[in-house]
Structure 1
């Protein structure tokens, strides 16, 4: 009896395993790089794609990705389609930039992503977990003839220098402040190296706190670093503030660039009130120490710039508001049925003629004729035509000029979508005017995953 039960359980497990294998057969993932070998600090564009031969009934959330030894920055998600082994797949691709900061190879980790998609031939979404394979990124060290502590990889750097004080009238005990601002493209602020301030005879140097910032759009990233130093002039006579060289490696041009801030010679004048020199020196030292202590206190005693009490108060208020909003939305969406209404409308729209025509127009704007032509036929497939072809659309709803152009194109074989766009728009208007009933070929299950990214 026990043996029979065991055999039944094994058969059931095999059936479940087979079903899961079939369900995953229409779903796959891929991770691609725009390059596999980079220098320290050089970004790698990583594209993570999830594809299905059916559709996604819920949006795909890629989230933040941690790569050991590198900074990772999320840019955007885009809808995509592929044809693999004669089969059409649609999906969503998330684009990240990975910036290695260690002189060692990276491993882009394996990811487990939760998606919801129906099996082929079914319409009910099934929750699944799909796993990507880890990928290796080779990191090249800083070349031997370059200083590693001044190494910066960027497609372009702008440098600005400012001075505070009268450089033409400097006396012993005077303080001149110098500030250097750098803005670098295609990097993060953490990778911009600090300025190295050379020691100067008869001058005391007091560096100020650096200010760093990164700015990102959906397609680009840049970073800035601003830092300065205070020069205390302690003896009279000519002194030279040495030049400062700013270098960066441009990976697109495979070339090192250099911007030099010229040296300055200052004739320091005598000061009869030498007693003030010690006072100024002490003040600068106290200011520098106080700034460092304040920085450490802020790190230790604040959260997002707030005291612990303020943070907890705001957190409590935010939780109460979120709970209230959650209850209201739950009542509105489920009790009132707005969620199901929205899903039905969304699903109907995403297989409608209107949606595919807008999609076609967006592809035409990319000026890729092959992609535009594919999008055109996808739109025509959603029209109520006896034959889903451009010729049939032109014969039934197009103008004489449209038909004449198609005759000429048939002879030349050169069909450019953008040249016929005005004819296509005119034919669509005629089609919409003559159509008696709305499109009924809708499915309530499709949700475009890129709309949730």
Structure 2
């Protein structure tokens, strides 16, 4: 389905828009809006789009060079530039792409450079529910999905003190990295659990792109025993074949045995067992902390001898301000990204930060509800409630204030315990 061209012709320049829709539109499916700029003379400068922030729609400008050509309209020759705006509906229901401003430059009839502003028309479209999908689980929509699950080293046999790193790479055609849902991996009793911030990436070429999301988790074997990391099931919807599949990541059993290198006698004759705190890597942490303290004292003394410098900005405050701006825009995807970046820096709930732990620490039911609304707006296949960035920000701001009062700065900013 192609929505009709919308045309406006002030003076010697005008704009036409065309939204190309599939017969059936699914959550996560790519849609294309063509914006064609026309002039009877020549273009000058670059084109600027004021793309709107819309809850439930991810909107991106295709960064490839615009298509340039000529066309006759009413017997008059025109030069045109065709830009692509790509849309990704993130949930089912009736959605609206609101009007937005387009500014571009061209040369007037006398050769003088001019700038013209246009406002596009809004477009409405409906997004279907994916049949058979579990509402509580996120769905990845793409004609091609690849998932790689890698452990280093292999997790079948390990010893106390070993670190096992798991990397899960999801790659899909025509889906940006920030549109992938998080996997929500959980901690396993008896295993230390540390995650890196997810890495997202987009590779673009000639109007096509491939997005990816990489999640990296490190498990620390803290004690002897057999531990099971449960399997994960990812829902994959192929809009071309209209087929829903489950992409399983198999469960993994980790057998942890004693580490003979750690079972040495102490000077007093006592045996240091696997449950002690005398791991070599903990000694390394103590040395590292000593080095950090020494460095801090050095730079403080050095600072007294040097001219006064402007105080460095607080990154936690800067990221919280960015989160406030994103929440005010009611852009769910941008708000989630800004919230996670701030939470990582704040260290209220570990590093990287856990939304679940953050809401648990605050014991704030309102905060928990607003975070749940945000997650469902982004990832649930059906969600009728209207998410509010203002209400989420208010709940997070209140929780931040309470946690700052209860949790000392030194505790938040210190190194995380390796064996919590």
Q: TM-score, normalised by structure 2?
A: 0.52
- The Cα offsets for residues 328-355 of structure 1, whole Å up to 9 and x where unpaired, read as xxxxxxxxxxxxxxxxxxxxxxxxxxxx
Q: Which position in structure 2 is the counterpart of 1:249? A: 237
C-alpha contact (below 8 Å) 2:258/2:274 kept by paired residues: no
String of CA shifts for 1:411-452, please: whole Å, max 9, x gaps: xxxxxxxxxxxxxxxxxxxxxxxxxxxxxxxxxxxxxxxxxx
Corresponding residue of 2:217: 229
Correspondence for 1:48: 35
Classify 1:99/1:165 alpha carbon distance in 2 versus 1 (closer, same or farther; 3 Å). Answer: same
Residue matched to 1:162: 150
Which residue matches 1:65? Answer: 51
Partner Cα distance (2:235, 2:83) in 1: 33
Shift of 1:213: 2.2
1:99 matched residue in structure 2: 88
CA contact (8 A) 1:100 1:106 kept: no
Correspondence list, 1:310-329, <5 A: none
Residue matched to 1:111: 101
Match among 67, 73, 81 for residue 78 of structure 1: 67
Q: 2-side partners of 1:28 and 1:192: how far apart?
A: 37
Whether the aligned pair in 2 keeps the contact of 1:78 and 1:92 (CA below 8 Å) is yes
- Would you say the 8 A contact 1:232–1:281 is kept in 2? no
**Residue 17 of structure 2: aligned partner:** 31
Kept in 2, the 8 Å contact 1:187–1:222? The answer is yes
CA distance in 2, matches of 1:23, 1:109: 17
Instruction: Compare the two structures and name the one with the higher helix fraction.
Output: 1
Kindly indicate whether residue 246 of structure 2 is the aligned counterpart of residue 264 of structure 1: no
For structure 2, which runs of at least 5 residues remain unmatched after alignment? 1-7, 264-271, 290-312, 320-420
Distance of 2:96 and 2:316 partners within structure 1: 30
What is residue 197 of structure 1 aligned with on the other side?
Answer: 185
User: How far apart are the structure 2 equivalents of 1:173 and 1:250?
Assistant: 43
The offset of 1:172, in angstroms, is 4.3
> Mean alpha-carbon deviation: is it higher for 79-88 or for 187-196?
79-88
The CA RMSD measured in Å over matched residues stands at: 4.1
Label 1:88 to 1:212 Cα distance change in 2 as closer, same or farther (>3 A).
Answer: same
What secondary structure, in the 3-state scheme, does the structure 2 residue paired with 1:146 have? coil
Distance 2:209 2:136 in 1: 23
Q: Displacement of 1:189 after TM fit?
A: 1.7
Q: Which residue of 2 aligns with 1:393?
A: none
Count the aligned residue pairs. Answer: 270
How many angstroms apart in 2 are the aligned matches of 1:168 and 1:46? 50
Aligned to 2:138: 150
- Please identify the structure whose Cα radius of gyration is greater: 1
Distance 2:316 2:27 in 1: 28
Deviation, structure 1 residue 25: 6.3
1:433-444 maps to which residues of 2 (within 5 A)? none
Q: 1:160 to 1:23 in 2, by over 3 A?
A: closer
Question: Using the alignment, how far apart are the partners of 1:219 and 1:34 within structure 2?
Answer: 15
Give deviations 1:193-226, integer Å, cap 9, x for gaps.
2223245454443333322222333412222222
